Every structure is written in C-alpha cells, then in structure tokens.
Chain A
Amino acid sequence: MQNVTPVTIAELKTACQAAKAEGCRLVTLSCAELDAETVDIIYHFDKDLSLKHYRLTAKKCEPVPSISDIYFAALLVENEIQDLFGLSFSGLVVDYKQTLYLEAEVRKTPFCKYSVAIANKA
C-alpha cells in the first residue's frame, strides 16, 4: 500500500477538506483493530484512478470526528464502523446509533470487545 499519510484526530478534518478541495473522491473508510485499545481507520481517496490513504490511529474510547459533513458519502461507512467496531463518531449527519446492521438490544460488536459507544448505549 503506497501513498499512506498518517494523520491525527486534530488534523483529520482539515486533511479531508484539503482532499476535497483537491478534487479527490472519497472511496471508503477501512477499519482494522490493532490491539486492545487502538484501531486503525484508513481513509481511501481516489483521484484520476490513483489512490491515496490517510491513516488515523484512534483510541477506541475516544470519539472520532465524523467527516460526513465534508463528504456525505462517509455517512454509511462511519455508521458501519460504529456497528462493527463499536467506535463512536461525533457529528454524524445521520446517526443510526449502532442499529445499521445490529439490533438495538445488541451489546457486543463483532470486531471489538469493548468500546465507549457500547458503554454509552448501555
């Protein structure tokens, strides 16, 4: 995987705004668990068929700022990550509150054991 830029939570929104100004299309977000406390969120952007990625290493217990106000397309995938990883995104345009795939009474997320979103839900 080439073209990976690490970003921090504070830089994330400005980086995404810059990408949008550049004319990048948001392809998707990928999330992968690193260890008990952190996850990797990778933002994939496409411009003229070449990809670039922003890697955000986020703590599971901290809410991640949502980019769905910049890229509306991020709405579904951020909700999906909330469901599958139990992360929490702040400022989502439409927040399904972990009921996109899961049922409201579900307390466990498939990919992560514990997170703040789950704690909030309970």
Chain B
Amino acid sequence: MARTIIPFGPQHPVLPEPLHLKLVLEDEIVQEALPAVGYVHRGLEKLTEIRDFNQMVQIVERVCGICSMIHAQCYCQGLEEMLGITAPPRARYLRTIWSELHRMHSHLLWLGLFADGMGFESQFMQCWKIRERIMDVNEATTGNRVIVSVNVVGGVRRDLNDGQLRWIGSILDQVEAELKALKKPLIDDYTVKKRTVGKGVLTAEQVYELGAAGPTLRASGVAQDMRMTRYAAFDELVFTPVVETEGDCHARLKVRYRELLASIDIVRAAMRALPEGELAVAVKDKPAGEIVTRVEQPRGELLYYLKASGKKNLDRVRIRTPTFANIPPLLAMLPGVELADVPVVVLSIDPCISCTER
C-alpha cells in the first residue's frame, strides 16, 4: 500500500491540451487528484483595455478554437442586450445554424479523441473523416474553417443562399448516415463498454453541487441545457435536451453522440424556417451597463459577464467557460479510478484548457 504521486500531463499522449494533474495513488487506484493549470493562459480578458468592443468579437472567438462561433455569439448577444437592440430574425437563425454546426464538429472531434484515448485508432479516423465534411461547410459558408468570424455586434456578416442551404442539407444527410453507422462500433461495442461503463461515476446531486456544465451534467440525469433559455432562434425551434442517467463515461459518450443527431435536426429545422430579411442592425451607441449572458457551448454552459460605461472599450469582459466548471467534477470523478482509466475519465469531460485559462 505505497502512496505514490504520479504527474499526469501537461504533455500526455491523450491530452490535446496541457492539463496537469497530480495523482495521488495507492497501488493502481487514484486516491486524490490536484489540478495545475496555467500553461496556456493568454490574458484575453485583459485585452479589452486596448481593443474596442467591436474588435473584441474577433478576440473572444480566439478563446476557444473549437467553439469560436459560440463565444462570439454569446458576446454579441450580451452587447446587443446592453445596447437595447435585437439582431434581425434571419441573423438569429443563421447564428443558430452555424453554432449547431460548430457543436457537431466539436463533438465529432471529441468522439475521435475519446476513441483515440481508449486506443481505438480506426474510430478516431472515422470520426475525423466525418468532421471534415462539416469543416468544409464552415469554410464554404463563412470563409474560414475553424474561427469563422461571422458574428458582429448587431447581427451576422455572411448570408446563406438557397444553393448553399441545399448543399448543407445534402451534407447533413451524408453525415447523419455515417453517424448512424458509427453507433454500433462506438456505443454498443463490447470493448468500448468495458472501458467506459462504470468509470468516473457521479450522481445527479454530486454533479449539480459541483457546478458541472453541459454533457457532464446531462449524463448524470440533470436536464439542464442553456438552449432551454431560448436564445437566438431557439425561441421558435423545438428543442429538448439530451439526458442520460448513468453518470459514467459511457453516458457522457452517449449524450454527445445523441446531441450530434439532435444538432442535425436543429440545423435542418432552422434551415427550413429561415426567415428572409436583414442580416445586421446598425450599432450607433456605445454600450453601457452590466450584462450576464449564457449560451450552450459544445462543452456546456458558457457565461459572459460584460461591464461597460459608455466608452469605446468595455470595462470588463469576464468569460466563464464550461471546462472551468467541469474541473471540480473531474476531481470528484477521479478518486477510486484505476490509473489506466484516468485518460478516459479526463477526456470524458471534454477538457478544453485554452478555454479554461483564456
């Protein structure tokens, strides 16, 4: 019964980003975990002192490479509320379409990484192959692959024409077919279940108390999704959160997989209902006041606290990213887990460390 401290990360084969965990082990079992972050802190919140509120749109996009669109959407929504303007309906629908496409490519990226974390290389390739179709949609419709830069305070910068909508529809059909083919080898597979079922279990009470967000929360049976707050086009679209109840890694896998299919439906519904009209409203005033806005990122609830006093620069931009909220639950998941399962459990919260540290 020797106690050992094993450093996990910051450079670890399964970690896409530098997260450092000090694991206190007794034999092979983790007793305690202590995180150390700070490897990719960039001080983006501080930049608001030298960049004006319009330039900040492009800066907050760079908080996270995977869900850039959703960061900008959240920021713009907050500023619009502060300025007392509303984005035109078409802009809100377009934001929804692009943000759901972002969710899909983020979840596919994660599915791939998770499979890779278990050593399931061919599944990793398969997921990323599907993801590439969505990246193509992003590039063709917004101009950029990852950091799409379509949001502007007051609306969006790009439009989708009928041809593009039809093309996106056909891509979604392909993606859906490929995803359905993925279900058996990814979700129902014996080996995958062996690696994930019963690993890193958190009950609904625990996960709620620890302030978890997104799929981590919903996999334990708490039906909380910021899209239920009806931002953007969700006030008109039908939306039901995806919930699983087991609270283990397999449940988190299932939540993300089912969310992918749900996102396809949301994009389709939004494209069908896409209203005509303006893309953006003009912004004349300077923002003043305090605002808290929340949207649902692929990893969970994203919160922006914005404070302004009628100047060109905002006084404070405070970003609470979902991974930041998911680290305390991760620390609660790890005790009792075998060392060999630590990568799977760590990946199951979909850690995005650049987000966390900003």
Q: What's the interface size class on A, roughly? A: 20 to 34
A27 close to chain B: CB less than 8 A:
yes
Which of chain A's residues has its CB closest to B35's CB? A76
Which of chain A's residues has its CB closest to B41's CB? A101
Are B316's CB and A32's CB within 8 A?
Answer: yes
Are B208's CB and A25's CB within 8 A?
Answer: yes
Are B211's CB and A49's CB within 8 A?
Answer: no
Name the contact of A111 in the complex, choosing from B36, B46, B210 (C-beta under 8 A): B46
Please give, as numbers and ranges, the residues of chain B lying within 8 Å of A1 by CB-CB distance: 289-292
A118 close to chain B: CB less than 8 A:
no
Are A77's CB and B38's CB within 8 A?
Answer: no
Are A28's CB and B325's CB within 8 A?
Answer: yes
Are A73's CB and B325's CB within 8 A?
Answer: yes
Please give, as numbers and ranges, the residues of chain B lying within 8 Å of A31 by CB-CB distance: 318
Are A30's CB and B46's CB within 8 A?
Answer: no
A7 close to chain B: CB less than 8 A:
no
Are A44's CB and B303's CB within 8 A?
Answer: yes
Give A100-112 as 1s and 0s: 1 = Cβ < 8 Å from B's Cβ atoms.
1110000000110
Please give, as numbers and ranges, the residues of chain A lying within 8 Å of B41 by CB-CB distance: 101
Are B38's CB and A102's CB within 8 A?
Answer: yes
* Residues A71 and B318 in contact in the complex (CB < 8 Å), given A27-B325, A101-B357: no
* Residues A73 and B316 in contact in the complex (CB < 8 Å), given A49-B229, A100-B37: no
Distance (whole angstroms) from the CB of A82 to the closest CB of chain B? 12
Interface residues of B in 277-301 (CB under 8 A from A): 289-292, 294, 301
Are B328's CB and A99's CB within 8 A?
Answer: no
Are A94's CB and B325's CB within 8 A?
Answer: no
User: Which of A20, A99, A101, A102 is the most central at the interface, judged by chain B CB atoms within 10 Å of its CB?
Assistant: A101
Interface residues of B in 249-302 (CB under 8 A from A): 289-292, 294, 301
Are B305's CB and A42's CB within 8 A?
Answer: yes
Distance (whole angstroms) from the CB of B71 to the closest CB of chain A? 16
Distance (whole angstroms) from the CB of B60 to the closest CB of chain A? 15
Interface residues of B in 218-248 (CB under 8 A from A): 224, 226, 228-229
A75 close to chain B: CB less than 8 A:
yes
A51 close to chain B: CB less than 8 A:
yes
Q: List 15 A-B contacts (CB under 8 A).
A: A1-B290, A1-B291, A20-B209, A32-B315, A33-B316, A44-B303, A71-B209, A71-B211, A72-B209, A94-B34, A99-B38, A100-B37, A101-B38, A110-B46, A111-B46
Q: Residues of B at under 8 Å CB distance from A?
A: 34-38, 41, 43, 45-46, 208-211, 224, 226, 228-229, 289-292, 294, 301, 303, 305, 307, 315-316, 318, 320, 324-325, 327-328, 332, 357
Q: Residues of A at under 8 Å CB distance from B?
A: 1, 20, 25-28, 30-33, 42, 44, 49, 51, 53, 71-73, 75-77, 84, 94, 99-102, 110-111
Nearest 3 CB-CB pairings of A with B: A73-B211, A28-B320, A30-B305
